[in-house]
Amino acid sequence: MPTILDEITSALDFRRFLGPELSDRLRLRGATVDGIEATQTIQYYHAAQHLTDPATRGNDNSVVLAAFKPAWVRVYVRSGLVSAVPGVTGSLTVERRRLGFIWNPVATLAPQAPGSITAQPTADYATERGSTALTLNFIIPAADCYGVLRLTAALTDAGGRSLDTSSVVVNATLQQTLRLRGIMISYSGPPTAVPPPNAPPPPNINLAAPTLANLQSTASRALLAMPVQSTGNFAVAGTIAFTLPLDDARTGAGGCSVNWGTLLTQLATQRTNDGNRSDVVYFGLLPAGMPVNVPGCGNNGLGAGRVGDVATLLHEIGHGYGFAHTPCGAAGTTDANYPNYKPYPSASIGEFGIDISTGNVFPPLATSDYMSYCFPQWMSLYQHERLVGHTRLDPSWIVDTPLWEQYAPWKDYLVPDYIPDPPPGDPWKVAQMRPDPVISIIGVVRSENEVEVTSVARVRAVSTPPGRATALRARLLDADGRELARAPLHELAVQGGGCGCCGDGERKPGEPPYTFQAMIADVAPGAALTIGSAEATLWQRRAPERPPRVSGVRAELTQSGGVRLRWKAESAGESREAWVQWSNREGKVWHGLATGLAGAEAEVSLAGLPAGEALLRVLLHDGFHTAYSEPVRIEVPRRPPETAILAPADGAVLVAGAPMRVWGAATDSAGTPLPDESCLWLLDGKEVGRGTDAWVTAPAAGEHRATLIVRAEGEETRVSSSFTTIRVGEREC
């Protein structure tokens, strides 16, 4: 069928009047490229058309793209005629720059479903920007999205005739990774802290510790919204057996609840046992059925939340990157530097965001920053910029300019005794992260003159605890009372997390009660440890007469995939607590496995350990000194792959006929990603793709099921999610 354009040009018969060259140039005006936007989570595009304060605007596509994460390329199309031009389609050519000036072809992409659009002579900015249905869309797959890219959109009509071409250059030069170490929490205890009055106490419930796959699926929103590559780096940093329900009442202004405070001190202890790494964020993962009042809590890399609560994980790890709340809702003290993106409400994300898995657009008028207490939430321009190059994401830049190589490598730089696992790309960071011998003191400052210490341990860990330093000091003294070393107490929960946790009233930093950690340099055995201010000593512990000893460790694998450990302990100190660490590198680097063990035996989970030989050792703390056992060798059994569907999420609602992402995580039991060939996707039982990250067209309106099958080393894991597709227009507002 001839297009309107064909009809007009033939009716006017331009060629006879104007000659072939000029008439072709006029034909090209049938539809033109008005602009190209390349976006992954949020992007500037024609900012002057909606941001009224010039200080908050940015150039088109100036938000850097993350390498190895898919990008949506939205081509904005205009009719050059007075009427609309239907059936405009085209292609997108992707080229990558090499040596600073050579453009190498990467791919020529076809548009995403439905594959063509109607070009309008004019468009309302917010309407067009607010819906991917109004642009011609292309998706650069994760594997191709890196380096400096030149994107050339070529528009054609239904007959394949060229209408217009236009190019932009975008940067996908930022390579960084979401690095999470999950502390898995099992629960055995009462179903509630507030049982109904005048009734017998309800029976205890037992909830198994979550798995690495649970951590990966709960991190799906974080992987999507943050400037990080599609595949994260996940590991288990030990397991905690918790026994208190978390639905107890909020403490007054500032605190979460008494039981949350107890959990935070246990998480801090576990993190210390793991070396308190500065290139990751720790997250305590609670079972989905955990009784809670506040959904999540914590701060400074010590957040915790339940399996499946994707929004809480994103928010809590935001505190782990050092972010404060942003000004919307009852969020307490908020970040004073958060920009006012006029004309939008406070804590607006500032530009149009996108969920690349679905093509959903987040308008700045109705979307709040994810560190605020208003909803819906998404990544803002402000937090995006602060995550670019963040040390806890192991950032590096992809550079292609000539002669760069000679500046890039670090010559023969090696840290002999310690290399973190996984190692960061940059050896200077290895040096920064080298753990120091420290005395870690963890506890709760109950009031102005009352300090409760729950753990004292001498270990190797990165010696700065996250969190704000308070005015109180911990000191190591010699027998004559002279100070050998000192360090400030760091407050572990400055702002209540979890949103809704600490909304009532303002709490000043350093105002009790709060959980704390202090890390004093372990320079000498010493004779006493104290905590206090310049004027008064609030807590003191003297060295016991003889240091503790731990020996005779025996390990036996159990049916349930754990290990039963027995040891001999001797101590004369005030308290006695055992920790367990593991190493698969002959003891060059140790990771945390368990903490808070009383007695002389325990069953410990081996979740997250790589299959094969590993060493275990027991640390015995007497409240002043720490003894280390000789390591014992175990053989960690091979287990099935850890597999999670990140998109389509279970219960998701998608638009039929629109692009749909099938995105999963597939790792071995230790968190090492498996190759793409190991992964197969089924949609309603039929094979639709391979690899962890692929795009298909969403099926016809109705109920559907996506299945990810992962095969590795003779083991197979299958996971499924159920989702619904609807026709456009049916979606509820």
Q: For residue 390, what are its two tokens?
A: 């963040």
- The helix (H) or strand (E) run that includes residue 591 is strand 591-597
Q: How far is the CB of 315 from Zn ion (least distance, A)?
A: 6
Q: Which is nearer to Zn ion, 187 or 370 (CB)?
A: 370
Stretch that binds Zn ion, among 74-82, 493-501, 563-571, 622-630 (CB under 5 A): 493-501
Q: How far is the CB of 331 from Zn ion (least distance, A)?
A: 7
Measured from the Cβ of residue 217, the count of other Cβ atoms closer than 10 Å reads: 22
The footprint of Zn ion on this chain (CB under 5 A) covers a number of residues equal to 1
Q: How far is the CB of 716 from Zn ion (least distance, A)?
A: 40
Q: How far is the CB of 496 from Zn ion (least distance, A)?
A: 6
User: What are the helix (H) ranges across 69-191?
Assistant: 125-129
Q: Does 30 bind Zn ion (CB under 5 A)?
A: no
Q: What is the spatial order of strands in the sheet that 679-683 belongs to?
A: 653-655, 715-726, 702-712, 679-683, 686-690
Q: Which residues contact 262 (CB under 8 A, 6 or more apart)?
A: 244
Q: Which of 397, 373, 340 is nearest to 176 (CA)?
A: 397
Stretch that binds Zn ion, among 117-125, 489-497, 528-536, 558-566 (CB under 5 A): 489-497
Q: Does 497 bind Zn ion (CB under 5 A)?
A: yes
Q: How far is the CB of 255 from Zn ion (least distance, A)?
A: 13
Q: Which is nearer to Zn ion, 27 or 306 (CB)?
A: 306
Q: How far is the CB of 251 from Zn ion (least distance, A)?
A: 16
Query: What are the CA-CA distances from residue 247 to residues 126, 187, 327, 402 (Å)?
Result: 43, 13, 27, 59
Q: Which of 125, 96, 144 is nearest to 34 (CA)?
A: 125
Distance, in Å, from the CA atom of 15 to the CA atom of 31, rounded to the nearest integer, reads 19
> Which residue's CB comes closest to Zn ion?
497
Measured on CA atoms in the order 644, 646, 647, 651, is the torsion positive or negative? positive
Q: Which of 644, 648, 643 is nearest to 705 (CA)?
A: 648
Backbone dihedral region for residue 561 (phi beyond 0: left; psi -120 to 50: alpha; all else: beta): left
Stretch that binds Zn ion, among 337-345, 462-470, 491-499, 612-620 (CB under 5 A): 491-499
Query: Count of residues for the chain?
Result: 733
Q: Which is nearer to Zn ion, 136 or 349 (CB)?
A: 349
Q: How far is the CB of 332 from Zn ion (least distance, A)?
A: 9
Q: Which is nearer to Zn ion, 303 or 691 (CB)?
A: 303
Backbone angles phi, psi at 704, to 5 degrees: -140, 170
Q: Which residues contact 624 (CB under 8 A, 6 or more apart)?
A: 456, 529, 541, 542, 543, 544, 573, 574
Q: Does 298 bind Zn ion (CB under 5 A)?
A: no
Q: For residue 20, what are its two tokens?
A: 């072939």
Q: For residue 32, what are its two tokens?
A: 């033109």
Q: Which of 156, 121, 125 is nearest to 27 (CA)?
A: 156
Q: For residue 682, what are its two tokens?
A: 């089924």
Q: How far is the CB of 497 from Zn ion (least distance, A)?
A: 4
Stretch that binds Zn ion, among 83-91, 115-123, 131-139, 497-505 (CB under 5 A): 497-505
Q: Which is nearer to Zn ion, 256 or 439 (CB)?
A: 256
Q: How far is the CB of 319 from Zn ion (least distance, A)?
A: 6
Q: For residue 363, what are its two tokens?
A: 């308008």
Restricting to residues 619-648, which ones interact with Zn ion according to CB under 5 A?
A: none
Q: Which of 185, 281, 289 is nearest to 239 (CA)?
A: 185
Q: Which is nearer to Zn ion, 314 or 706 (CB)?
A: 314
Q: How far is the CB of 412 from Zn ion (least distance, A)?
A: 44
Q: How far is the CB of 373 from Zn ion (least distance, A)?
A: 8
Q: Which is nearer to Zn ion, 497 or 664 (CB)?
A: 497
Stretch that binds Zn ion, among 67-75, 136-144, 238-246, 490-498 (CB under 5 A): 490-498
Q: Which is nearer to Zn ion, 271 or 325 (CB)?
A: 325
Q: Secondary structure of the chain: what % helix, strand, coil (to 5)?
A: 15, 40, 45
Q: Which is nearer to Zn ion, 112 or 334 (CB)?
A: 334
Q: Which is nearer to Zn ion, 311 or 634 (CB)?
A: 311
Q: Which is nearer to Zn ion, 257 or 692 (CB)?
A: 257
> Are the beta carbons of 593 and 575 closer than 8 angstroms?
no
Q: Which is nearer to Zn ion, 96 or 221 (CB)?
A: 221
Stretch that binds Zn ion, among 392-400, 435-443, 495-503, 715-723 (CB under 5 A): 495-503
Q: Which residues contact 198 (CB under 8 A, 6 or more apart)?
A: none
Q: Which of 580, 576, 579, 578 is nearest to 622 (CA)?
A: 576
Q: Which is nearer to Zn ion, 329 or 608 (CB)?
A: 329
Q: How far is the CB of 704 from Zn ion (least distance, A)?
A: 35
> Are the beta carbons of 194 and 249 closer than 8 angstroms?
yes
Q: How far is the CB of 684 from Zn ion (least distance, A)?
A: 40
Stretch that binds Zn ion, among 496-504, 522-530, 608-616, 718-726 (CB under 5 A): 496-504
Residues of this chain that interact with Zn ion (CB under 5 A) are 497
